[in-house]
């Protein structure tokens, strides 16, 4: 079976703060075909994201497939509030790399 990495299909893959207690992840596509391919693959779901980031599924507070923008978005609760002692990414912008290498069947 042939696959493509998510980084090769998406226009934008990013993470950022969603308040002091959450980080949101965005996967945005230019083409509807790539968006539909990823969406229908079952590779990006609440359960698969919890597994990928080694989280309990209830730490994912939102998971949305937004068809008008060809986007998939999910938000997680942080372990520690942004800026807390021991918190490693104040802006939440360095959390997305595990998404880049997800293999999507073509």
Residue 105 lies in a domain: no
Q: What's the domain count of the chain?
A: 1
Residue 48 lies in a domain: yes
Structural domain containing residue 26? 3-95
Residue 78 lies in a domain: yes
Residue 100 lies in a domain: no
Residue 25 lies in a domain: yes
Q: Which helix (H) or strand (E) holds 36?
A: helix 32-41
The whole-number pLDDT of residue 66 equals 98
* Cβ-proximal residues to 46 (8 Å cutoff; 6+ apart), any chain: 57, 60, 63, 74
Taking the chain (106 residues) in runs of 10, the rounded mean pLDDT of each run is 96 96 98 98 98 97 98 96 88 96 96
CATH number, residue 73: 3.30.70
């Amino acid at each position: 079976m042939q696959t493509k990495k998510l980084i090769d299909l998406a226009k934008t893959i990013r993470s950022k703060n969603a308040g002091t207690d959450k980080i949101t992840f965005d996967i945005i596509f230019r083409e509807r075909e790539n968006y539909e391919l990823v969406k229908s693959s079952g590779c990006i779901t609440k359960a698969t994201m919890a597994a990928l980031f080694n989280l309990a599924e209830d730490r994912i507070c939102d998971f949305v497939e937004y068809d008008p923008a060809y986007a998939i978005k999910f938000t997680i609760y942080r372990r520690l509030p942004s800026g807390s002692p021991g918190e490693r990414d104040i802006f939440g912008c360095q959390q997305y790399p595990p998404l880049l290498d997800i293999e999507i069947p073509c």
